[in-house]
């Protein structure tokens, strides 16, 4: 009985500690995922504001445009000046995704306007802000506003046009309207992985309240309409508006418990909340708890059974008792191995089942229902094909996300190896694509040694080579060069190609999750994120250089411990 109590307590404590460890690790992973998504959204919002303010500064400093405004203001009948100004204004909605563009006089009266939108009314916040903008003499960003309760939320840029001759004379204001439903809300609503409750909120402080600036997943009409009192300090949106940044547990606008990551958008009054219902992220924990309890109970029952058999057999002859005990121990060992094997198979099955469900796109389900009702076999087959392709793609995404999550938890002990041997292994893995494109791969003749997990470092070169060949374009003599530059304080490894190159505007996005500059190219967009993760775990950093489209691309990275073989 004493042995039963001691071992039972040990099994229970082991189960508790194991589950607590798993729960803690799982919770940290969820928090890291929320934080990463929040950081990505913050970067997107910062880039959005910077691009818009950049548009304003370019127009504000444009001497040719200022001269045209001067001509038009002095001579409203100048048809040449009017036509050229109209052409300037119309390029902003057409090329830069503004909802409308107008030229207003110092009183806010519209002088010129694009045909894509009506003039702003006399009570509009834009018109009322014109004198203040002219007095400030700098472009200003009008935050989320509604001119009337029935109007959709809007943003605007006001750009003063000032005659720079002495004395300076404010001539007009260019008003550029921005429809957040077209250019801002879509990327806020996207979530990188399937989730029935996760969402991103954009809020700002407004007096004694926090104002929701974006539509809510469960309240689409909340943008610039719904408020929460700053006294509701358990609400994540309130904590964000009060300046708190980090992970926060609280109660959301629906009254449910949520886990959230809170961030402040630099150089703006905006705050961001990335949230998920606790019931959603705790569901896997509950499943794992059931499995853990079942295993512990099974072990306890097995132990109790064995001890009961042993106690009964103590009455038999001493040698028979020893023999029977040995047989019982052997049976116990086999049973424990069988249970462990069963638990392992169950774990894999659970893992497979968690990946199996595929979020079916609503629109295609709707099409399928309609086509089934119409008995249109051809369209039904197409609908099913779309749904199947979406499922296949989501499966690939989950697999690659799992691979990305494993990096850092499954690194092998570091070994020193030559750069040439790593590249040779990577070339062998992508030899088919290289041969198909007849690509020349040139590796430095100098012998360089690197230290790290060989398998992971081969993945780095495999992804970079595959990426270079994939984006070679129509280059008649495709070439990839791999070498090391040692001009700086630390050797820099490079993979250079003469392919299609990368537009300077998009270079900062390439190492993000699911970032693909060309959606027609195969792949999930996670390869370069994996490359960066592996290199950072090896104490290095990675970046790319490209002069632009058609100028080729060079990926450069460092690895701790890189040295010449003769050094």
Condensed to tens digits (0 to 9), the pLDDT of residues 292-347 reads: 888 888 888 888 888 888 888 887 777 787 778 878 778 677 756 644 543 343 33
pLDDT per position as a tens digit, 201-254? 999 999 999 999 999 999 998 899 999 999 999 999 999 999 999 999 999 999
Is residue 159 within 8 A of residue 110, CB to CB? The reply is: no
Q: Which of 372, 406, 440 is the last residue of a domain?
A: 406
Q: Among residues 73, 83, 206, 65, which one has the least CA distance to residue 146?
A: 206
Query: Is residue 177 located within the same domain as residue 188?
Result: no
Please, what is the Cα angle at 537 between 533 and 543, to 5 degrees? 50
Q: Among residues 156, 150, 215, which one has the least CA distance to residue 185?
A: 215
pLDDT per position as a tens digit, 120-158? 776 788 999 999 999 999 999 999 988 887 888 999 999
What does the alpha-carbon distance between residue 22 and residue 28 come to, in Å, rounded to a whole number? 10
Q: Supply 503's token pair.
A: 């537009």
Query: Is residue 429 located within the same domain as residue 514?
Result: yes
What's the average model confidence in pLDDT over 436-457?
A: 89
Q: Does some domain include residue 17?
A: no
Q: At what angle do helices 377-406 and 362-374 cross, to 10 degrees?
A: 160
Bridge partners (DSSP) listed for residue 554: 496, 545
Q: Does some domain include residue 11?
A: no
CATH number at residue 445: 3.30.565.10
Query: Is residue 249 located within the same domain as residue 389?
Result: no
Query: Is residue 179 located within the same domain as residue 189?
Result: no
Q: What DSSP string describes 147-170?
A: SSTTSPPEEEEEEEEEE-SSSPEE
Angstrom CA distances, 205 to 240, 305, 416, stand at 9, 64, 55
Query: Is residue 216 located within the same domain as residue 303?
Result: no
Q: Which of 322, 340, 355 is the last residue of a domain?
A: 355
State the distance between the two ends of the chain, measured CA to CA, in whole angstroms. Answer: 67
pLDDT per position as a tens digit, 14-56? 888 888 888 889 899 999 999 999 999 999 999 999 999 998 9
pLDDT per position as a tens digit, 184-194? 999 899 998 89
- Decide if pLDDT at 435 tops 90: no
What range does the domain containing 131 cover?
Answer: 61-183
Q: How many domains does the chain have?
A: 5
Strands 542-545, 492-497: pairing is unpaired
Q: Does some domain include residue 93?
A: yes
What does the alpha-carbon distance between residue 11 and residue 296 come to, in Å, rounded to a whole number? 7
- Decide if pLDDT at 517 tops 70: no
User: What pLDDT is attached to residue 264?
Assistant: 96
Bridge partners (DSSP) listed for residue 564: 448
φ and ψ of 486, to 5 deg: -125, 30
What does the alpha-carbon distance between residue 214 and residue 227 come to, in Å, rounded to a whole number? 12
- Decide if pLDDT at 362 tops 90: no
Query: Is residue 88 located within the same domain as residue 208?
Result: no
Query: Is residue 435 located within the same domain as residue 559?
Result: yes
What pTM was computed for the model?
0.52
């Amino acid at each position: 009985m004493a042995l039963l109590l001691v071992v039972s307590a040990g099994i229970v404590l082991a189960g508790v500690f194991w589950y607590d460890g798993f729960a803690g690790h799982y919770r940290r992973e969820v928090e890291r995922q929320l934080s990463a998504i929040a950081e990505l959204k913050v970067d997107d919002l910062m880039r959005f504001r910077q691009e818009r303010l950049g548009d304003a500064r370019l127009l504000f400093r444009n001497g040719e445009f200022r001269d045209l405004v001067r001509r038009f203001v002095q001579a409203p009948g100048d048809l040449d000046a009017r036509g050229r100004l109209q052409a300037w204004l119309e390029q902003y909605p057409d090329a830069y995704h503004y909802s409308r563009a107008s030229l207003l006089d110092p009183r806010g009266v519209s002088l010129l306007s694009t045909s894509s939108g009506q003039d702003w009314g006399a009570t509009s916040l834009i018109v009322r802000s014109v004198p203040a903008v002219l007095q400030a003499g700098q472009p200003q960003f009008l935050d989320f506003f509604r001119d009337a309760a029935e109007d959709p939320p809007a943003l605007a840029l006001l750009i003063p046009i000032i005659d720079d001759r002495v004395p300076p004379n404010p001539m007009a204001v260019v008003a550029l309207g921005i429809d957040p439903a077209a250019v801002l809300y879509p990327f806020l609503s996207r979530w990188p992985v399937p989730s029935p409750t996760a969402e991103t909120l954009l809020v700002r402080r407004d007096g004694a309240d926090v104002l929701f600036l974006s539509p809510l997943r469960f309240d689409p009409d909340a943008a610039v309409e719904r408020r929460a009192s700053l006294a509701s300090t358990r609400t994540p949106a309130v904590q964000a508006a009060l300046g708190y940044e980090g992970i926060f547990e609280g109660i959301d606008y629906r009254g449910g418990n949520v886990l959230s990551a809170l961030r402040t958008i630099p150089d703006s009054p905006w705050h961001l909340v990335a949230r998920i219902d606790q019931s959603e992220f705790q569901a896997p924990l509950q499943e794992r708890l059931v499995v853990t309890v079942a295993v512990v109970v099974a072990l306890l029952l097995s132990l109790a059974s064995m001890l009961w058999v042993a106690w009964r057999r103590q009455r038999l002859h001493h040698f028979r008792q020893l023999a029977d005990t040995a047989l019982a121990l052997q049976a116990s060992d086999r049973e424990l191995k069988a249970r462990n094997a069963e638990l392992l198979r169950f774990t894999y099955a659970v893992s497979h089942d968690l990946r199996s469900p595929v979020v079916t796109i609503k629109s295609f389900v709707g099409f399928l229902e309609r086509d089934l009702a119409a008995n249109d076999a051809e369209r039904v087959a197409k609908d099913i094909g779309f749904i199947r392709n979406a499922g296949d793609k989501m499966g690939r995404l989950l697999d690659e996300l799992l691979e990305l999550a494993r990096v850092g938890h499954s690194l092998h002990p570091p070994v020193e190896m030559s750069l040439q041997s790593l590249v040779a292994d990577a070339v062998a893995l992508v030899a088919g694509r290289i041969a198909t494109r007849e690509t020349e791969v040139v590796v430095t003749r100098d012998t360089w040694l690197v230290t790290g997990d060989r398998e992971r470092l081969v993945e780095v070169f495999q992804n970079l080579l595959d990426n270079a060949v994939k984006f070679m374009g129509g280059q008649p003599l495709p070439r990839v060069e791999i070498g090391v530059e040692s001009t700086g304080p630390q050797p820099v490894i490079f993979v250079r190609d003469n392919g299609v190159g990368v537009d300077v505007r998009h270079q900062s996005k390439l190492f993000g999750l699911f970032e693909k500059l060309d959606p027609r190219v195969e792949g999930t967009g996670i390869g370069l994120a994996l490359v960066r993760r592996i290199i950072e775990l090896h104490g290095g950093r990675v970046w790319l250089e490209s002069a632009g489209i058609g100028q080729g691309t060079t990926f450069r990275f460092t690895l701790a411990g890189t040295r010449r073989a003769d050094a």
